[in-house]
Amino acid sequence: MTDTTVATTETLRARTRAALDRIGVVLPEGAGLHARTPITGDDLFPLRASNRVDVETAITDAAQAFRTWRTTPAPVRGELVRTFGELLRTHKTDLADLITVEAGKIGSEALGEVQEMIDICDFAVGQSRQLYGRTIASERPGHRLAETWHPLGVVGVISAFNFPAAVWSWNTALALVCGDTVVWKPSELTPLISLAAAHLLDRAVAATGAPDGVHRLLLADRDAGERLVEDPRVALVSATGSTRMGREVAPRVAARFGRCLLELGGNNAAIVAPSADLDLALQAVVFSAAGTAGQRCTTLRRLIVHHDIADRLLSKLGAAYRKLPVGDPFLDTTLVGPLISATAAKRMREALEQAKAEGGKVLAGGSEVDTGTNGAYLTPAIVAMPGQTAIVREETFAPILFVLTYRTFEEALALHNDVPQGLSSSIFTRDQQEAERFVAADGSDCGIANVNIGTSGAEIGGAFGGEKETGGGRESGSDAWRGYMRRVTTTVNYSAELTLAQNVSFL
Ligand code: UN1
């Protein structure tokens, strides 16, 4: 049950200091930025923000380091990432503590985020020996046609508060083995975990003798992000955040013919069919919708449930929601921590008001939990909606689960796809035909389509990302590494004749 006792800011400051000391981070003293914690809503430490000169120097250093890094053999580049992964293992709980302090994640989810970092390092080390090109059958005698993958350049990573370290590590681990160098601009809300992760990578750089400029960290406001977007030396901009942010970034990178990898908003849905195992569906729905206090881009935001089982599922769901312990994420009993800020809480309250005005009925949650601090704690909400109204079609980055009912599979699928975003999706069914139709070409239009598992919590081995307003990017596993390289097509003529393709004759 909810325990409203929250650690004091002083205790959190001491815990943070201890974790930073064990990792070896020296805080950049100065002004311009504040590390803060959503647990009490208070500031922890003043920090020196990077200025324009720092941004310029970071890009110059990374561009310089690229010149040697790109010719370092890929398996040797893998050594850097392997060493980094080992340091992540050593400091797993310290890093998780910092994630809890700054992003408000509960212990198990914070540890899970660090595990994603470790996993992507392992994946990238293996990948460093598998940057495979191919040989293609040439139509000409005595010719060889081949494709090779080469390093791309400087990668600018712009990341969000909700996965403050893992998303950077997905990009960085792959970019580094691919021979690229990285300049990172994290969220201003999570400078400490950024400093810690970057410091561990610095230590791995020093231990393996990699060039110093292979990565740089910028603790700065959006101006620094804009400079990464504008600078022609930044070959790829990998940006995670809102669709609004993506709309600003994409055309500016395109205008200079740079590459973009976008991970933007989601409005993820699950269809629960009449044949579903309701207990399994229930567990998956609660984790996906209320986990991380609804602040994952993969959070379940829409539940599309068959009319015949709606009452049964909703009464189980309501009961589970009413028991969800909300509070200090450092308490072992807590499952739902704070929202990131008072602004996020205000947006949640406004979204609930709008939902009610659009005919919605709040079935559970949506109320404040008073902890006597400045932290923003709200109980996750379930709202029954009469249809897919304006607020349901928007991504509100908070734990609100909208419920819609359906009678035919076609109706469910149409509702499912009728939103502007396309990140993650799932269906709960024991009907194999229905499951296959959901993941088929005319089924879910998302980048992730799951069966009998929730929308959030993807493994790193698959490609991660989505379609439509989610931005189309793919990160982490599968062949996402190709996004960090440039492809070269080579035709070698080893005959003594000059044969032109397409039977063209000349001279
Ligand atoms: C994000 O919310 O930005 O699938 C990333 C998941 C995590 C990654 C989420 N592995 O929920």
169: CA distance to ligand 1 center in Å? 12
* Contact call for residues 294 and 397 (beta carbons, < 8 A): yes
* Count of CB atoms situated within 10 Å of the CB of 316: 16
Q: Is 91 buried (19+), middle (13-18) or exposed (0-12) by CB count in 10 A?
A: buried
C-alpha Rg value of the chain to the nearest Å? 24
Q: Of 456, 460, 475, which is best to mutate to test ligand 1, by the most ligand atoms within 8 angstroms of its C-beta?
A: 456
Q: How far apart are CA 221 and CA 415, in angstroms?
A: 38
Q: Which atom of ligand 1 is nearest to the CA of 456?
A: 11
The ipTM of this complex is 0.98
The pLDDT score that the predictor gives to residue 3 is: 76
Contacts of residue 272, Cβ cutoff 8 Å, sequence gap at least 6:
278, 281, 285, 303, 304, 305, 306, 309, 313, 427, 428
Q: Supply the pTM of this predicted model.
A: 0.97
Q: What stretch of H or E contains 243? A: helix 243-255
Which is nearest to 18 in space by CA: 73, 77, 87, 91?
Answer: 91
- Strand arrangement, sheet containing 300-306: 361-364, 381-384, 400-406, 300-306, 268-272, 424-428, 448-451
Q: What is the pLDDT of residues 69-90, one digit of tens each?
A: 999 999 999 999 999 999 999 9
Amino acid at 326: V
Q: How far apart are CA 138 and CA 396, in angstroms?
A: 53
116: CA distance to ligand 1 center in Å? 10
Which is nearest to 167 in space by CA: 297, 74, 63?
Answer: 297
Question: Helices marked H in 132-190 — which ranges?
Answer: 166-177
The pLDDT score that the predictor gives to residue 4 is: 83
> What Å distances lie between residue 162 and 64, 314, 494, CA to CA?
31, 28, 54
The pLDDT score that the predictor gives to residue 39 is: 98
Cα 258–chain centre separation: 21
254: CA distance to ligand 1 center in Å? 26
Q: Of 113, 115, 163, which is best to mutate to test ligand 1, by the most ligand atoms within 8 angstroms of its C-beta?
A: 163
The pLDDT score that the predictor gives to residue 1 is: 58
Amino acid at 154: V
491: CA distance to ligand 1 center in Å? 41
Q: Which of the following is catalytic: 102, 263, 395, 475?
A: 263
Residues in the chain predicted with pLDDT less than 70, given as ranges, are: 1-2
Q: What is the chain's percent helix, strand, coil content, to nearest 5? A: 40, 20, 35
Residue with tokens 């430490």: 45
Q: What is the pLDDT of residues 381-392, one digit of tens each?
A: 999 999 999 999
Q: Which atom of ligand 1 is nearest to the CA of 458?
A: 4
What residue owns the CA closest to ligand 1's atom 3? 297
The pLDDT score that the predictor gives to residue 69 is: 98
Give ligand 1 pocket residues (Cβ under 6 A).
Answer: 116, 162-163, 167, 240, 296-298, 456-458
Show the domains of the chain with their CATH numbers.
7-264+471-487 (3.40.605.10), 268-464 (3.40.309.10)
263 among known catalytic residues: yes
Three-state secondary-structure class, residue 402: strand
